[in-house]
A and B are shown apart, each in its own frame.
Chain A
């Protein structure tokens, strides 16, 4: 049962343009959503998060939008830079029994080319 889905395995964007990465989820009990970036041979690096009670969070070039009615979130990167090329994971936090865990999507590989 895949509760978090990233339907696009890859995305190619030109430098300076906007990158939009999408994520869908099925469980209404998720209380936080996070985006992680992963380079080869490194662990995932936290990028940005959003509470389930918000609809937008912005941090520099990165903005995450949450549409609870559609159970959909997206990460916007503006402007995209070659250093943004990495695999991006969407994760949802499930809090139960006093503890929480992260459930990840399969990731989207972003390639930003000059």
Chain B
């Protein structure tokens, strides 16, 4: 049973560029959340996708956008990259229950983004 996978593993971009990160959820999961982990900090919630729509959003600017596909996989897009966007980007998947809450979130290995 494959867990959460993310690609690419590492990425180097320059300021002003745009980047797309990809995530495939754990088998059976339908909800994908994205987190940004800066050095020495805990993961910070960016947004969550369910049924191909953004359902919740953290305190991140509109430069951060996403998408979820019918097979539940997801992309995170960041436009106009800043030096401060350098971080580990984590994808987490979970299964939404009938009551609305989601099961435990399981994380992928992350994509290390460096902005020069």
Contact = CB atoms under 8 A, between A and B. Distances in A.
Contacts of B92: 43, 102
Given A89-B43, A101-B58, A46 B104 contact: yes
Contact of A100 (B4, B41, B58, B101): B101
Interface string B21-47: 000000000000101000011111100
A107 B42 contact: yes
Nearest to B105: A102
Interface in A19-38: 31, 34, 36
Contacts, number: 65
Interface in B64-105: 90, 92, 100-102, 104-105
B45 A43 contact: no
Contacts of B100: 95, 98-99
A102 B40 CA distance: 18
B43 A101 contact: no
A106 B109 CA distance: 18
Nearest to A90: B42
B58 A34 contact: no
User: Sorted from nearest, which 5 A-B pairs have the closest CB atoms?
Assistant: A104-B42, A43-B107, A99-B55, A101-B45, A44-B107
Interface of B: 4, 6, 33, 35, 40-45, 48, 50, 55-56, 58, 90, 92, 100-102, 104-110
